[in-house]
C-alpha cells in the first residue's frame, strides 16, 4: 500500500479537551434509549417558535449557551463558534451565530458536521490560535423532512431502509485549560460514491465513507479496533452498520463488540425507528451527553468517534447524480494527566 493512500490524520499533542458539553433534543428523542442522558428534552418540537426552522436555530443557540455554562465560562470567553447544519446555506447555524457576538465560521459535512467541527476546532486550540472554541451542530426532523423529502402534511409512508432525522442539537467547548476528555487526533475523510441513487438508504450511501475513514484512522494512528473501548459511528443506522461490518471484514479488519452506531441505538424498538436515527444532531447529541459524560466517569478510556454525512442536495438528485458521502473521525481519550 503506498503511503499517500492514507495520511489523512492530524495529531494534537497539547491535549485539547472537551471542557463543556450540552445536548438538547426533541420529545421523540427524549423518549428514546438515551432520554435520561440529555441535558434538555423539549416538550414540543416547536420550542415556542413560529416555525420548525426557527426552533432548530433556537436549539443550536441553547446548546451553545448550555455548553458555555457547563464549561464555567462566559459568552465573551468563546474565541470562535464553528457550526453547520442540514438546512440550505446552513441558516440554522448562521442565524444562531447572529445572536452571540462571537466570531463564527460555518462548516458543512452534512451529518458528519460534529466530527468536522471538532477536528478543525481541536487544531485551532492545539495550535494556540484560539483559546476556547465552541463546536456545534443540530438537525430537526420537520425541517429536514420538508426540505429534502415531502411536505409534512402529506404524512408520507417511509420505506423500510429509511432513517429518522433526529430533532437534536449539541455543542462542545474545546480548550487546553479545564478538565475533560482529550481529542488526540482527527482523520479527515475522502468523498466516496458507490453509485447509490436511493435517497431513502443513507446507510448504504454512507457505509463506504465510514469504512474508508476507519481504515485511514487505524493506519495513520497505528491502531487496531482492539485499541479502543468504543468505536462509534453516527449515523449509519441498522443497515448501514451491517454494510460497514461487511466492508471492513473484506478489508481484513474485524470490528468487534466495541463497535456500535448512534443512529441504530437512538430510538427504542417500540418507537418503530426503521433503520434508526440520522441527522447532524443524532451523533452530536450522543457525543455530548452519553459519551463525554461516561468518559468523564472513566467508563470509556479511548474512543474512536466517526461521523458520516451524505453530501447530496435535492438539485443533485433531480439531475440524476449518484449520492456521495464522507466521514470524519476523532480519537477521544480520557487523559486527565495533562
- Using CB under 8 A, which residues numbered 211 to 240 contact a second copy? none
Collect contacts of 101-106 with beta carbons under 8 A, ≥24 apart: 101/75, 101/76, 102/75, 102/76, 102/78, 102/134, 103/79, 104/80, 105/80, 105/81
Among the listed residues 25, 41, 59, 97, the single contact to a second copy using CB under 8 A: 97
Residue 53 near a second copy by CB under 8 A: yes
CB within 8 A of 171, min separation 6: which ones? 20, 21, 22, 60, 63, 64, 66, 67, 134, 135, 136, 288
Per CB under 8 A, does 283 bind a second copy?
no
Distance separating alpha carbons of residues 119 and 100, to the nearest angstrom: 22
Is 28 a binding residue for a second copy by CB under 8 A? The answer is no
At 217, list the grid cell: 484512522
* Nearest distance from C-beta of residue 296 to a second copy, angstroms: 27
Alpha-carbon span 140 to 167, nearest angstrom: 4
Establish if 289 lies at the interface with a second copy (CB under 8 A).
no
Decide if residue 315 touches a second copy (CB under 8 A).
yes
Nearest 10 degrees: Cα torsion 118, 39, 65, 80: 0
CA separation (Å) from 168 to 4, 68, 112?
Answer: 37, 18, 14
State the number of binding residues for a second copy (CB under 8 A): 63
Task: Choose which of 31, 65, 69, 105 interacts with a second copy (CB under 8 A).
Answer: 105
Interface with a second copy, residue 190, by CB under 8 A: yes
Does 95 interact with a second copy (rule: CB under 8 A)? Answer: yes
Span from 22-30, 124-132, 237-245, 287-295 in contact with a second copy (CB under 8 A): 124-132
Instruction: Say how far apart CA 192 and CA 323 lie, in whole Å.
Output: 9
321 binds a second copy (CB under 8 A): yes
Q: Is 159 in the site for a second copy (CB under 8 A)?
A: no
Smallest separation (angstroms) from a second copy to the CB of 243:
19
Chain residues binding a second copy by CB under 8 A are: 4, 7-8, 10-11, 50-51, 53-54, 76-77, 79-80, 84, 86-91, 94-95, 97-98, 100-110, 116, 119-120, 123-124, 126-130, 147, 188-193, 311-316, 319, 321, 324, 326, 328
Amino acid at each position: 500500500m503506498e503511503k499517500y493512500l492514507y495520511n489523512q490524520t492530524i495529531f494534537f499533542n497539547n491535549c485539547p479537551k472537551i471542557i463543556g458539553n450540552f445536548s438538547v433534543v426533541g420529545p421523540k428523542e427524549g423518549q428514546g434509549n438515551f432520554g435520561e442522558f440529555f441535558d434538555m428534552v423539549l416538550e414540543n418540537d416547536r420550542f415556542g417558535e413560529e416555525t420548525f426552522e426557527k426552533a432548530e436555530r433556537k436549539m443550536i443557540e441553547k446548546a451553545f449557551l448550555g455548553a458555555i455554562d457547563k464549561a464555567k465560562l462566559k459568552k465573551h470567553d468563546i474565541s470562535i463558534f464553528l457550526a453547520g447544519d442540514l438546512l440550505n446555506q446552513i441558516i440554522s447555524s448562521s442565524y444562531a451565530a447572529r445572536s452571540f457576538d462571537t466570531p463564527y465560521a460555518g462548516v458543512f459535512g452534512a451529518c458528519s458536521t460534529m466530527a468536522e467541527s471538532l477536528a478543525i476546532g481541536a487544531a485551532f486550540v492545539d495550535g494556540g490560535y484560539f483559546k476556547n472554541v465552541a463546536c456545534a451542530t443540530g438537525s430537526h426532523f420537520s425541517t429536514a423532512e420538508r426540505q429534502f423529502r415531502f411536505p409534512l402534511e402529506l404524512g408520507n409512508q417511509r420505506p423500510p431502509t429509511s432513517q429518522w432525522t433526529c430533532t437534536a442539537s449539541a455543542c462542545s467547548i474545546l480548550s487546553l485549560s479545564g478538565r475533560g476528555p482529550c481529542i488526540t487526533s482527527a482523520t479527515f475523510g475522502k468523498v466516496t460514491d458507490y453509485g447509490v441513487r436511493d435517497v431513502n438508504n443513507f446507510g448504504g450511501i454512507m457505509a463506504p465513507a465510514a469504512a474508508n475513514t476507519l481504515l485511514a484512522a487505524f493506519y495513520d494512528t497505528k491502531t487496531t479496533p482492539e485499541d479502543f473501548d468504543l468505536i462509534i459511528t453516527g449515523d449509519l443506522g441498522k443497515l448501514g452498520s451491517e454494510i460497514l461490518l461487511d466492508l471492513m471484514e473484506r478489508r481484513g479488519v474485524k470490528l468487534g463488540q466495541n463497535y456500535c452506531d448512534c443512529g441504530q441505538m437512538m430510538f427504542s424498538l417500540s418507537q418503530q425507528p426503521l433503520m434508526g436515527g440520522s441527522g447532524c444532531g443524532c451523533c452530536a447529541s450522543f457525543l455530548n451527553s452519553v459519551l463525554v459524560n461516561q468518559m468523564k466517569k472513566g467508563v470509556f478510556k479511548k474512543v474512536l468517534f466517526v461521523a458520516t454525512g451524505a453530501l447530496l442536495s435535492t438539485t443533485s438528485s433531480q439531475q440524476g447524480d449518484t449520492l456521495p458521502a464522507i466521514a470524519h473521525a476523532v480519537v477521544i481519550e480520557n487523559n486527565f494527566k495533562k
